[in-house]
Chains A and B, each alone.
Chain A
Amino acid sequence: MEPTGRHPRARVLHEAWSRLSGVETWTGPHGAPLSRVTKLVLIPLVLRPMSNPLVAGDLLDDTGTALVHTLVAEAGRPLAAASTWYDVLKAARRRLGISGGNPQDRYLQRCFELAVLHGPPQPDSAAELAEEVLRESESQDAGRTVTELHRLLADPTTRARIRGELDRTWRARPTTPYGDLSAPGWTEALDALVESPAAGAALASLRDSGAAAAAGRRLWTGDAAGSVPALAALADVLPAREPALGDGVRTADLPAPLDRSVHQRTFSVLRATSAREELAEVGELVADEVQRSCAPLGLLDEDTRVTLALGALASAALAGDGSTAVHRALRRRWERERIVARSRRMTESVAGTGDAPRAYVHRLWARLHGREVRGAGVLDAGETWDLLEGVCRSVVLDQRERVRRRLRAAGQDPAPAGAGPGATDRTGVGA
């Protein structure tokens, strides 16, 4: 619930910011801090709402307002120094010929760090220090690149070793569908997930039941997936088979998640991770993926599998079905997209959107898989809901991109002879 306060925090920040001097390069057109400066520096590093709950909301009372002014004024010198560092880093970036990524995303926080550690840039040392920072942030990717993955799997000895490991693990996996296959409170959890205090307990009891793992094992033995039939969307052919090791990657049309090769699964994570230094090195990634790809639903943790199963149930909302709180919220989002797409003149026929629940399950799997690979922690109820909502948004954006591609393709068809620019005599109706 929104606290009723007196001032929007964004406005208070704007005022406090406009009293600083020397921060021009971090200032937007109307004197406000750049939005990424607010998001990446001012809120997390200057206001620090975790330690200063008074400044945590989007609306502040008078005490919170005064605290924002104090905190920003106190940070005035490092902020001015940091904004100067930003120019130095951008110049160094040009010198080193680095062009990937949004420089604001990559460097704003580094600049504040530099300012706190070293003060304002000094003419004799600044350029060198900046290049060092840039090289360091580029080299953190070493050993965690797509090239490295291709090299590893191109080596015949390594391939044979990994393939042996994959075969052994697959044969040794327990295939009996043990675990509770009935419906132990999925509906209750989906109702509680949108802001109910009962959600944590509902999730915990689902995890303890082992129902998601049991549903996953069902996909190996045959037909449906127990109480969560929507999970069948994870494989194009049932029963789900042993994954291939894989040698080439065609990302344009990845198969269903459980039909992807170990190579494809690892590749996707490398591609989707912005901070690769969080990942293990490629050899370890592949070894882990061999284990994971032989686990139920292609995931190692029951927490992750429960989230996937909840999302699979929720995906019915994208076909207009389901009645839990999660279904209602996702349906509202989906309906809004229908109207927005139409306002954007980007509409598909109903037939084109029929696969939305399936697309949802695939997207959610990829997100959860990425989280496991990065070793991200267990999601609490609020984070679980955020993820389910975020995946809906991804499906929406995928759909927009698909329509855009189709329109572009239609626009690139070569015009028939004589119909291109220069043709004259165009009449509405011929004789």
Chain B
Amino acid sequence: MSTEVVVTSYGRDDLVLSVGGRDPAATLGGPDAVVLEADGALLVWASWDDELPGALVHDPAAVQRWLWEVHSEPLALALAALAAGGGTGTVTVAAEPGPLAGAARLAARGHWAARWWPTSVLDGLPGLDTDVLGLELAVASQECERVLGPDEESPAGLLEAHAAGVQRLREWATSPVHAPYAGAVARLRERVEALADELGVELSAATTSPAARADFALAAAGGDGRAQGSLENDWTAYPPGLLDASESALTWRADLDSPGWRVGGVAAAGAVAAPLVLRGTDGEQPFELTPTGWRGLVPAGPAPGVRVALPGFDPGPLGGAGDRLAARERARGFARAWLADPGAPLAVLVAADDPEDF
């Protein structure tokens, strides 16, 4: 099916491709950014279901090497003509997704999931096996290697980083729980081994990390009449894998014994004791991992307006609280859409179907 793509030139070497009237720059930087660093452009799937990505083009010559295989040749030629003019202008082209559009989208979705997957017990969003996902990402990246820019993660780099997934696949091959996926497991192993041979990557040296899964936190605050409430849990502002990515994972309560607010967070499965802090107008207080979750104490005030942060890893605020919430909700929507997609990668299918957890 053809898609209307609008190409806008803002002058020298600065062009934007937008799909479905959506500004590709709008989702950048947030947890709903499904992006791929292509040669000469940043590709952005502004909507989960878009087959074709929008693009921010910074090198119109470089994109000619692959644009015809993703957005089809008429669009490639229209962009070349517009760029050659050097000025500003707009052209609308009916584009057919080319042979590499699917692999490029799969690679972009895989990167998105590796970075932003909102794993949450409270919301019923199961975590993914990141190494198996990484192997599938390597295979998809190899398929669209011509599209990838020099700064995007390479197929060989992904294979090396996620070689431990091979061991996981071996376990899955013999586990009765994963029997429905035996075919997909075998196919992935075969493709990964062929790719490793092709790229000269050593897979056998990898050690497996223990699968951090069955360890789940229990739900949050009980009500016994004392003042209490929830705080914005902006999980996009600190690294993944530390807190449950639910909006209700962060709560506060008045403390009768000490002058302050007790803040508690539901720990993510396999969370490590990263040096998180609670940052407010009064400075920073430690937020520590305990056997019962993340705990901190902040000085009393009108309300405990603090946010969780990891010092040094500070993206700063992204829009207002409403925009941030909307972006996080969109990320959850992406995750649910993929979990419900029978054509999703193995790591997603297995997570969607894990009876042990959900």
Contacts and interface: CB of A to CB of B under 8 A. Distances in A.
A348 B269 CA distance: 25
Given A35-B146, A59-B64, A426-B218, A2 B83 contact: yes
A315 to B, nearest CB: 19
Given A396-B151, A426-B267, A332 B58 contact: yes
A235 B116 CA distance: 41
Interface stretch (A160-168, A221-229, A339-347): A339-347
Interface in B233-278: 236, 239-241, 249-253, 262-267, 269-275
Interface stretch (A355-363, A375-383, A406-414): A406-414
A427 B264 contact: yes
A416 interface: yes
Contact of A345 (B198, B236, B251, B272): B236
A421 B210 contact: yes
Given A2-B83, A345-B239, A428 B150 contact: no
B54 to A, nearest CB: 13
A5 B100 CA distance: 23
A430 B69 CA distance: 56
A339 B151 contact: no
Contact of B220 (A35, A332, A406, A429): A429
Q: Which of A332, A340, A343 has the most CB of B within 10 A?
A: A343
A156 interface: no
B42 A340 contact: yes
A32 to B, nearest CB: 7
A411 B272 contact: yes
A58 B264 contact: no
Nearest to A30: B99
Contact of A29 (B37, B143, B316): B143
A100 B202 CA distance: 10
A419 B253 contact: no
Nearest to B63: A58
A246 interface: no
A348 B291 contact: no
A419 B29 contact: no
Interface in A1-47: 1-11, 28-30, 32, 35, 38
Contacts of B76: 8
B115 A428 contact: no
B310 A410 contact: yes
Interface string A103-140: 11000000000000000000000000000000000000
A414 B58 contact: no
A176 interface: no
Contacts of B69: 10-11, 30, 32
A33 to B, nearest CB: 10
B351 interface: no
A397 interface: yes
Interface string B312-345: 1111101000000000000000000000000000
B136 to A, nearest CB: 15
Contacts of B156: 102
B86 interface: yes
Nearest to A421: B215
Interface residues of A, number: 67
A51 interface: no
B65 interface: yes
Given A102-B156, A393-B150, A418-B291, A8 B215 contact: no
A347 B314 contact: yes
B254 to A, nearest CB: 11
B146 A427 contact: no
Nearest to B29: A342
Contact of B64 (A58, A403, A426, A429): A58
Nearest to A195: B12
B36 to A, nearest CB: 10
A424 interface: yes
A427 B271 contact: no
A152 B198 CA distance: 37
Q: Which of A3, A59, A421 has the most CB of B within 10 A?
A: A421
Contacts of A407: 239, 313
Contact of A426 (B202, B214, B262, B291): B291
A423 interface: yes
Interface residues of B, number: 92
A397 B289 CA distance: 32
Contacts of A10: 64-66, 68-69, 146
B249 A99 contact: no
B179 interface: no
Contact of B273 (A90, A351, A413): A413
A5 to B, nearest CB: 7
Given A6-B77, A352-B312, A426-B266, A419 B151 contact: no
A2 B228 CA distance: 63
Nearest to A416: B273
A430 B265 CA distance: 10
A101 B143 CA distance: 21
B311 interface: yes
Contacts of B265: 428
Interface string B188-213: 00000000011110100000001010
Nearest to A93: B200
A345 B151 contact: no
B269 A8 contact: no
Contact of A411 (B100, B199, B241, B253): B241
Contact of A4 (B73, B81, B202, B214): B81
Interface in A85-104: 90, 99-104
B218 A425 contact: yes
B28 A342 contact: yes
Q: Which of B29, B116, B270 has the most CB of A within 10 A?
A: B29
B252 to A, nearest CB: 7
A428 B312 contact: no
A252 interface: no
Contact of A422 (B33, B86, B215): B215
A415 interface: yes
Contacts of A271: none
B29 A339 contact: yes
**Nearest 4 A-B pairs (CB), nearest first?**
A428-B220, A429-B264, A418-B291, A426-B217
Interface of A: 1-11, 28-30, 32, 35, 38, 58-59, 90, 99-104, 332, 336, 339-340, 342-345, 347-352, 393, 396-397, 403, 406-407, 410-430
22 contacts: A8-B67, A11-B69, A32-B146, A58-B64, A59-B77, A102-B199, A340-B35, A345-B115, A345-B240, A347-B313, A347-B316, A348-B314, A350-B314, A419-B267, A419-B291, A425-B292, A426-B216, A426-B218, A427-B222, A427-B292, A428-B249, A429-B251
Given A351-B312, A426-B218, A429-B251, 17 more contacts: A2-B61, A10-B68, A28-B146, A58-B61, A100-B200, A332-B58, A336-B42, A343-B28, A347-B313, A347-B315, A407-B239, A421-B215, A422-B215, A426-B216, A427-B222, A427-B292, A428-B265
